[in-house]
């Protein structure tokens, strides 16, 4: 055996190839089946509705164009109760990371 090679350790084995999952922004009004980018589990997203630009634009439109009844009778608050006007936020049910936001614009 050569004296030069007896002091060097053999090279480490090559690492196992990782399976790369393409990161696709999740959109839509309904829960989506996907693989979480954080915990790598097969999941169905948990959705949460939040007031966004469309919700507040609807409130302002009713106040401005529906005056005086729009503000006086509280009709301007109706868009705050309609889920179709709100933004949809998709969360992982395991690790609660935000996977995507579908904005109503």
What is the pLDDT, as a whole number, of residue 54?
Answer: 94
- Is pLDDT above 90 for 9? no
The more confident residue out of 79 and 74 is 79
DSSP class per residue in the chain: --TTGGGSPPPPPPPPPP-PPP-----SSS--EEE-TTT--EEEPEEEEE--HHHHHHHHHHHHHSTTHHHHSSGGGGGGG-GGGSEEEEE-TTT--EEEEE---
Per domain, the residue ranges of the chain are 26-51+86-105, 52-84
Q: How large is the average pLDDT for residues 56-82? A: 84
Q: At residue 56, does pLDDT exceed 90?
A: yes
């Amino acid at each position: 055996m050569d004296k030069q090679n007896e002091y060097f350790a053999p090279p480490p084995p090559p690492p196992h190839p990782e399976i790369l999952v393409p990161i696709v922004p999740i959109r839509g009004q309904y829960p989506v089946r996907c693989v979480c980018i954080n915990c790598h589990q097969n999941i169905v997203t948990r959705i949460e509705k939040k007031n966004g630009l469309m919700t507040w634009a609807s409130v302002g439109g009713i106040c401005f164009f529906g005056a005086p009844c729009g503000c006086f009778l509280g009709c301007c608050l109706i868009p705050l109760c309609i889920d179709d006007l709100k933004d949809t936020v998709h969360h992982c049910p395991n690790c609660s990371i935000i996977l995507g936001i579908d904005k109503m614009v």
